[in-house]
Amino acid sequence: MAISRRQFVLQSAAVYTALASIKVNALAKAVEETGIKDLYKHDFHIGTAISGSNMRASDSSFLGLVSREFSAITMENSMKWERIHPTPERWDWETADKFVDFGEKHNMYMLGHVLVWHSQVPDWVFQDEKGKLISREALLKRMGSHIGNLAGRYAGRMTAWDVVNEAIDEDKGWRKSPWFNTIGADFMDHAFNFAHDADPKAHLVYNDYNMQNPAKRAFLVDYIRKAKKRGVPIQGVGLQGHVGLDFPNIQEFEDSIEAYAAEGMRIHITEFDMDVLPVAWEFMGAEISTNFEYSDELNPYADGLPAAVEQRLNDRYVEFFKLFLKHRDKIERVTLWGTGDGESWKNNFPVVGRTNYPLLFDREYKRKPCYDAIAALKK
C-alpha cells in the first residue's frame, strides 16, 4: 500500500530519532565504561592498590570500578610476609589467589607486593625456636624458600614483583635491617636472584620512598651499576610517590626518573597519593612504625576540603602527571595507593584519626576534580 509524502517524512523522522537515541545511549555507555586507564593507554599503565578486605568482599560495584578505571593492580597488604606466611608451616593463599584471578580475568598488569621487606615480617623469620638470631645461611635459606613458594606459585601469571622494599636509609646507605645485619649487603642480590629463579618471566623491581633524595639516588645508582656487572636481574625501580602539596621538589623527582632510567631501569610510580594535611613535625617519610599524637591543628579539613585547597590539589596532580607524560618512554606504570579517599592509609599516617583527600575518588568512589584535571591532559 502506498504512503503519502507526509507519512514518509514522519516515518523517516521517527527512524532517525530512534537511531540517534541508540547512538546517544551507546555513547553514554561507552563513556561510562571508559576509565582513566583508557585515556593513558598509549602512555603507561594506570593502577591502584586493593586492600585485602575489598578483595575478599568481592563487591561487584567496587571491583567494577577498579576494572573500568585501572589497567594495573597491586595487593596492598595481603602478600606481605606476616599476612601470607604468618607461621613457618602456614600459608594463607585465599586473598592473593582472588587477586590474581581478578587480574587475569580483566587482563591487568599485576604487581606482587612484596617479597623482602624489613617491616611486617614475623619474628620467627629471623629467630630460632629459642628466640635467638639465626645464621646467615639459615636466613638465606628462609628467604629463598619464601620467595620460591610465593613467586613460584604465580610464576607466569604475575607481571612484576616488588622484590625488595625500602632497603636504603635515606643518606645513610643500607638500612640496618635484620636482613642486612644477618646476611650482609649482598642480601638484595640474593633476593633478586631467588625471584628470577622462581619466575624468570616476571619483571623485577626495587621499591622505596623519598626516591628524589639526591644521596639516596646516588647510592641506588651505584648499587645498580655494580649489581648489573654481577648479573643481578634488577629491571625496574619503583618511586613510591607519597607526595604533598609542597613536597618533594619536582625537579629532584624528575632528576631521579632520569638517573634510574639512564641505568637501564624501567620506572614505576608505585604508591602515588597526594597528602593535603599539615606535615607532622616536618615528617615526610613512609616508615610505617612512625606515629605522632593527634591534634585538631593537624586535622583542619575534617568537614570537607576548602575550594582553595582543592584547587592546589588539582594543580599539583596536573604538575606530576605532566611530568609523567614527559617521561612516558621511561615509565611502565603509575599506581595510586588506593582507590577512594576513605580507604587511604594517609588518614591514619603518621597521625591516627585524620581526614585526608589524597586520591582520585572521594569517599563514595565518585570522581574528584583532580581526576577530571588529569583526564583533561589527554583530551
Q: Is 69 a catalytic residue?
A: no
Distance CA 218, CA 173 (A): 10
| Given 69, 76, 166, 332, the catalytic residue | 166
Q: Is 94 a catalytic residue?
A: no
For the chain, give the number of residues: 379
Distance CA 69, CA 48 (A): 9
Strands 242-244 and 203-208: what pairing?
A: unpaired
DSSP state of 123: G
From residue 227, alpha-carbon distances to 219, 231, 358 in Å are 12, 6, 36
| Given 69, 76, 271, 343, the catalytic residue | 271
- Residue reference for cell 619503583: 238
Q: What are phi and psi of 335, to 5 degrees?
A: -110, 125
Task: Give the three-class secondary structure for 40.
Answer: coil
Task: Give the three-class secondary structure for 277.
Answer: coil
Dig out the grid coordinates for 110 from the structure.
Answer: 599485576
Report the catalytic residues. Answer: 166, 271
